Structures are given as C-alpha cells and as structure tokens.
C-alpha cells in the first residue's frame, strides 16, 4: 500500500467511479432480470452473482490484509482505530482490538488445577453453559406434572435453522475452433440453405 493512500487524499481517479457504476448497473440489470423469472433462470443469475461475490471477496481479502499491516504500522503495533481515505469517495477503518486469552481446545485443565492447587481460581474462572438435550421434546411430552412441563417449555426457545443455499458455476465448455464459413451461393439467402 502506498504512503499516498495512508490517510491522505490523492487526486481523484475517474476510472474508479466508472468501474463502480459499471458493476452496480450490471448487478441492477441482473436484479431486473429476476422479475417473474423461472427457478432455473433465478439459479443461473444467483450463480453469476455468487461467482462475482467470490471474486470480489478474494480481492477484498488482499486489500484487508494490506490495510491491517498498514494499521499496525500506523498504530505502532498497539490497539486502536486507523482510518484511511481513498482517492475519491472511499474510506476504510481498521479497528485493532486488545488481544484476549483463551484456553486451547483439548487442554487438560484438571491436571493444571491439580498442579496449581487453590490458586487455580485466581487465574481461571469457571463458565457453565447449558443446552437442551436431544431428547428434550420427548421427555417433556412424557412428563405427568403439567407445571414442570410449562416451566421447561418456557425455559427454551425453538430456533428454526435457515436453509443453506449454495451456488456453483460450471466451467464453460471450450469454444470450438472457428471454421471458415462456406461461401454463400450467389443470389441465394444463406438462411434458406438451412431449410429442408
């Protein structure tokens, strides 16, 4: 990332506006094509948008990596927020939070607790979480105490999962080599040669 882009406006580049307007107009055009479209047509447009989003996301990942590095330099490796201006209408900010500690998965805390002894709680706090068992519905239904049923049913909420949708773009077949068209018969409409 150039120094010119780190918090300083440079001369506006009209090409960025044109590129942005072009992308947006194409997305709007695809959106318009969805009006009253059949499912297969919607799938085709969805796969195009997914493909574009994936390509854009890949480019954004590179930009984000550069901005994180630039922010780290700007903040001297500390925490805080670094702000950047684009060459025209764009701005970006990178929020660098304070590092946090966590216990890695698979770490044997019982062994550590045993080794540290009573001081263990000075360094770790116990967090207990509960989740409904897989048999929750069946067991609540089989309860004979209606008060317990009501208490249990009021203790949970049912979360309907959102169905996942994925798209894929098949690799287009390679174009056949261009062949030299046969010369048209003089005085004959070429399209008429296709008639039986």
Q: Which residue has the tokens 């966590």?
A: 102
Q: DSSP code of 84?
A: E
pLDDT in tens, the chain (196 residues): 544 444 445 566 778 888 989 999 999 999 999 999 999 999 999 999 999 999 999 999 999 999 999 999 999 999 999 999 988 888 999 999 998 999 999 999 999 999 999 999 999 998 888 999 999 999 999 999 999 999 999 999 999 888 788 788 787 666 656 554 544 434 434 333 334 4
> What is the distance between the alpha carbons of residues 121 and 102, in angstroms, rounded to a whole number?
15
Query: Which residues are CB-neighbours of 81 under 8 A, at least 6 positions away?
Result: 93, 94, 95, 96
pTM above 0.95, yes or no: no
> What is the distance between the alpha carbons of residues 140 and 137, in angstroms, rounded to a whole number?
5
Can you read off the two tokens belonging to residue 189?
Answer: 């409409």
- DSSP symbols for 124-174: ----------TTHHHHHHT-S-HHHHHHHHHT----PPPPP-----PPPPP
Q: DSSP code of 6?
A: S
> What is the distance between the alpha carbons of residues 30 and 58, in angstroms, rounded to a whole number?
21
97: nearest Cα among 72, 60, 65: 72
Domain boundaries, the chain: 3-96, 109-154
Whole-angstrom CA distances from 179 to 73, 175, 176, 192 are 58, 11, 9, 20
């Amino acid at each position: 990332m150039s120094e010119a882009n780190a918090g300083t406006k440079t001369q506006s580049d009209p090409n960025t506006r044109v590129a942005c307007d072009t992308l947006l107009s194409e997305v709007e055009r695809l959106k318009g094509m969805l009006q009253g479209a059949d499912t297969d047509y919607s799938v085709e447009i969805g796969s195009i948008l997914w493909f574009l989003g994936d390509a854009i996301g890949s480019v954004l990942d590179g930009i984000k990596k550069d901005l994180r590095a630039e922010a780290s330099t700007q903040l001297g490796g500390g925490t805080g927020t670094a702000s950047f201006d684009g060459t025209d209408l764009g701005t970006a900010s990178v929020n660098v939070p304070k590092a946090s500690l966590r216990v890695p998965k698979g770490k044997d805390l019982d062994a550590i607790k045993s080794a540290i002894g009573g001081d263990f709680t000075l360094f770790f706090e116990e967090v207990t979480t509960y989740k409904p068992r897989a048999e929750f519905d069946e067991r609540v239904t089989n309860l004979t105490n209606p008060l317990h049923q009501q208490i249990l049913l009021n203790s949970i909420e049912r979360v309907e999962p959102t169905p996942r949708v994925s798209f894929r773009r098949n690799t287009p077949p390679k174009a056949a080599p261009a062949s030299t068209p046969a010369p048209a018969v003089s005085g004959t409409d070429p399209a008429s040669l296709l008639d039986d």
